[in-house]
Chains A and B, each alone.
Chain A
Amino acid sequence: MKPSAFDYRRPEQLDEAIDLLGELGPDAKVLAGGQSLLPLLSMRLAAPKHLLDINRIAQLDFVSCGADGVRVGALARHAALERDAGARAVQPLLSAALAMVAHPTIRNRGTTVGSIVHADPAAEMPAVLCLLGGSITAMSTNGQRIICASEFFLGPLESALWESELAVEAFFPALPPQSGTAFAEISRRHGDYAVCGVAGLVTLDDDLRISVARAGYLSVSATPLVLDLTDAVSGRTFDGDLSAAGGLASAAVDPEPDIHATADYRRHLVGVLTNRVIVGAAHRAAREITGNGATQALPMPGAQP
């Protein structure tokens, strides 16, 4: 379990990193938190010629919150985003999901953008990005492009990033008005990749009836899956019987079995967890409307936490 030889580059500036990536392209891997890459190197499942360490590029280490959402730099650690009060206010789903990402020591080092770029269908943040309709900003020597979450995940461990591109930022849209979110997952051990995980987003109308219900899923498909469950529960009051959402969801998924769970168990969990998050999100949305949550001031764009 020792990596094969590689060249190690550690640029200090973003421009330098982009240039290097343009030059080395397919032979290079970007190292940020290293929580997935280093084990892959050690097990020789990956053997890039060059390792491009971006940990010295300070300008990528940011979490910035605005009325429209949360921007997360490529060096922001999971733990920093999880604890960011501004991010929590703008989009509470982030900290709820991040609490489920592995263990604190891994969150202290691992980066949210890195996890998204790694594109593991069992990871939490890709599913959250997809549910919220976020995006990834990528830079290369050709300039910058913004890739929507819905187009970013191509397959297991496969993203739409070009080999010469560096993902510099992820954008998570803010919680819409009159809305709530919730996250639930079942893992074999605390902190493991989930057997099934669901992120839910519910928007209520002024009568506290459901107008939008959507959920994002991890570990049940090759790429993060988003289901619109509105048809199943539209018009129902937030505290009514919402279990049709789970029924719709479990009928819509086609999970694979693995050594930890049968396909049917996963499908069953999709239903159970969908109901849990839709109920949870609906109640939060109701609190948002009826309680004092809606009046909470949002931080200014670019404000430091």
Chain B
Amino acid sequence: MTSRMVGQPVNRVEDPRLLVGAGRFLDDLGQDAAELAVLRSPHAHARITDIDVTAALEVQGLLAIYTYEDLSGPLADPLPLLIPHPAICAGRTQYALARDEVNYVGEAIAVVVAENRYLAEDAVERIVVSYRPLPPVVGVQAARAAEHLVHEDAPGNVAAHFVQEVGDAAAAIAAAPFRLELELAIERSASTPLEGRGVLAQWDSDSQRLRMWTSTQTSTGVRAAVAAKLGLDLGRVEVITPDVGGGFGVKIVHPWPEEVLVPMAARALGRPVKFTEDRREHFISAAHERGQLQHIEVGFDATGRILGLSVRFWHDNGAYLPYGLIVPIITSTQLLGPYKPGAYRVEFDSLYTNTVIVTPYRGAGRPQGVYAMERTLDAIAGELGLDRSVVRATNFIQPSEMPYDHGLIFQDGRPLVYDSGDFPASLAKLKALVGWDDWPAYQAAARAQGRQVGLGLACYVEGTGVGPYEGGHVQIETSGRIKVATGLTSQGQGHQTAFAQIVADELGVSMDDIEVVTGDTRRFPYAVGTFASRAAVTSGSAIALAARMVRRKILKVAADALEADPEDLEIVEGMVRVKGAPGVAMALGTVAVLSNPLRYAFDEASKAATQFVVGDSDLPPVNEDDEPGLEGRDYYSPLRSTFANGMHAVIVETDPETAEIKILRYCVVHDCGTLINPLIVEGQVHGGVAQGVGGALYERLVYDDAGQLQNASFMDFLMPYVSEVPESIEIDHLETPSPLNPLGIKGAGEAGVIPSAAVFASAISDAEGFAITAMPISPSDLFELRRRHAGTDRHNESIAKKEPTR
């Protein structure tokens, strides 16, 4: 038997090409294209009173300048609000080019197309825009205070207000023997893929067709949006995703202004046009995430069991709302993690500020929710003097309670129902891995030496593999090679490897004979995109179903040819053979030849398939319920999300003098159902943890009061280097298969980053003896906190405000 590939730590087939620099990213393409540069607002909030392009017209090599006045038809309308929701009370999106008002530094006002980017930037510099500055709204507090409005017709700066409640949380809290309140804050970070955004478009005036390449997480989404904006039928638009140098969420947003303006210019100018975003542009005009203020009230009993939980939070959505409420809805629902909260009420405002938009960044609202919940559980443990892991275990949903319905509506509009998971088993694994029970002794010994060490713990559940659907296409070539296509895109996940593993098992072929194409609308036009840890679940399942369809046809065609019953056939190493009679066999390529009745024999192999040779002469060569060729196309559309989970523990040491925070150990227990490729899953976890370390200890996006981003470069936005990431990340897996899809898999893409703010806050609190309630935290922040807490009995201080005695 061919050994099973799913579950094997197969090396990524993508890597040799990428590692030797043979990747083809957006800016590697279109070397002869004209280039586009964008004039961006230097003001966070202003009226545009005049745009004077006169001086720019003198620049040699200038091809075109476009402002809002040059846009017409759908291009002159605001960009789409991609995901509508009934709770949105004032949904605002920007125009492709600002019409008369700008609402964040970096908003596009005009674009220049020139022979190259240098000249385009020269012309941008010479465009004179007159502004009437308006008061900017920066930060959640200012948005809540609403002394000034971002959008005049969005009162209170409120884009959306949403409440969900299960049971009567207020009553449950009031009746609880113990109560706490917490105020928590978490700041902005950003996806910051190494490759920024980029678009290349080419208009063929003969065929009236547009072909574009874009560094996106959804080529089909871009295709539909561009077709709508440019007034083209879908059939006239092709979108291809080349190698993508990271997405992490920011590239799911579409269409970016440049994604419609580049094809518009390419069509108008009759030549290829390209836009390659630079780093400063990415910081100020792409998207950020994470900024929230949270107020939590919790009631619990003496064992730490939560009886009622009420969470009120304020979410900074930036200047516009193109991606709807996905981030705060995920915070509000995934906050619950592996726990049963008793009665639960959550209420949030999604607020406008004069800053760049907020859209999903890996984790997509979960890091904030997990932070809220895990800080709360630590506070309960502190209040009751209980072991933090015990309080968590007390509140766990038990395996016997699966599937578990929280009674809430998730981000996909479907009920929040966990499909599977064994949280007590995961916690037991993590405690064993990190040496939880030995910790008190270790910490005491370290303290005796004047060292400050802390252990943090955080648990999460992640809804993955959201719908609506993905599709897969599997075709056997007459060479015996197998072509697989799915519509969603790849930006480093290793899809070519993982999907090939699935097909190898389904068809009984070698991975080496399989070629996987993603994100090319010419190959697969129906797709959603790569986000929400969904590619393996949705496309992986669809490809498996498509492969099974092909397999049935292989066996049918081969059965006819071999004069055997399909039930008696097996496929081993690319050969269809009769079970127990390996000599009676046929190569898959031959089956492919036979599946397509030919009039013309173009080579030796095809002679076997001409209409004189194959088929029953009493039937049409292609029968009524059949079609030529050996291919299958199928779709997977999940009923609901499948819920992965994990638990992280970190041990940190804080320097008593310099307040530097050093990671001593980082441990992960991860359950994403059946593992397709443990190497890829662990790589995903490593990458996520690295980003989590960044988000917890290094990265923040610092706006001043005028709405100017103070650190729009990799010099001052502190993405961690390899020197800041733990040298080793210890991982243990649990596999509780999902019952919702044919492979039993759950998503793994975002897992590593989700609990980081929570787990570091927990560890640093443990090391310092006072509660960390604002993340991220720098040594300077920690130093200031130490001064604030100096003189108090740090090791007995609770995280939370205590409720006055009744």
Contacts and interface: CB of A to CB of B under 8 A. Distances in A.
A4 B117 CA distance: 10
Nearest to B35: A2
A189 B721 contact: yes
Interface in B109-150: 117-118, 121-122, 125
Contact of B716 (A4, A259, A262, A269): A259
Given A4-B121, A43-B280, A259-B716, A190 B724 contact: yes
A83 interface: no
Interface string A1-34: 1111100000000000000000000000000000
A217 B75 CA distance: 56
Given A4-B125, A261-B780, A265-B780, A186 B724 contact: no
A256 interface: no
B778 A4 contact: no
A43 B283 CA distance: 14
Given A1-B279, A1-B280, A269-B658, A191 B122 contact: no
A138 interface: no
B278 interface: yes
A264 B790 CA distance: 15
Nearest to B279: A1
Contacts of B723: 189-191
Contacts of A2: 117-118, 121
A188 B715 CA distance: 11
Contacts, number: 66
B784 interface: yes
Interface string B647-685: 000000000011110000000000000000000000000
Contacts of B718: 188-189, 192, 260
A268 interface: yes
Interface of B: 117-118, 121-122, 125, 278-280, 657-660, 698, 700, 702, 710-711, 715-716, 718, 720-721, 723-724, 778-780, 783-784, 787
Contacts of B659: 265
A1 B702 CA distance: 21
8 contacts: A4-B125, A5-B118, A5-B122, A44-B125, A188-B718, A259-B710, A260-B718, A269-B658
Nearest to B704: A259
B780 A189 contact: no
Contacts of A265: 659, 779-780, 783-784
B657 A188 contact: no
A195 B780 CA distance: 10
Contact of A262 (B118, B715, B784): B784
Contact of A186 (B117, B280, B658, B721): B658
A269 B657 CA distance: 8
B780 to A, nearest CB: 4
Contact of A272 (B657, B721, B724): B657
A186 B655 CA distance: 12
Interface residues of A, number: 24
B499 to A, nearest CB: 36
B125 A264 contact: no
B636 to A, nearest CB: 42
Interface in A248-269: 259-262, 264-265, 268-269
B205 to A, nearest CB: 30
Nearest to B117: A2
Given A4-B118, A5-B118, A259-B700, 18 more contacts: A3-B118, A4-B122, A5-B122, A44-B121, A189-B698, A189-B721, A189-B723, A190-B721, A190-B723, A193-B715, A195-B780, A260-B716, A262-B780, A262-B784, A265-B659, A265-B779, A265-B784, A269-B658
B720 A189 contact: yes
B216 to A, nearest CB: 22
Nearest to B701: A259
A77 B773 CA distance: 46
B138 to A, nearest CB: 14
Interface string A181-218: 00000101111110100000000000000000000000
A259 B784 contact: no
B721 A191 contact: yes
A77 B718 CA distance: 26
Given A2-B118, A259-B716, A269-B658, A186 B711 contact: no
B122 A188 contact: no
Contact of B724 (A1, A3, A189): A189
Contacts of B721: 189-191
B280 A260 contact: no
A110 B798 CA distance: 50
B125 A1 contact: no
Given A44-B125, A188-B778, A259 B720 contact: no
Contacts of B779: 186, 188, 195, 261, 265
A72 to B, nearest CB: 25
A222 B388 CA distance: 48
Given A188-B698, A189-B698, A269-B658, A1 B278 contact: yes
A268 B698 contact: no
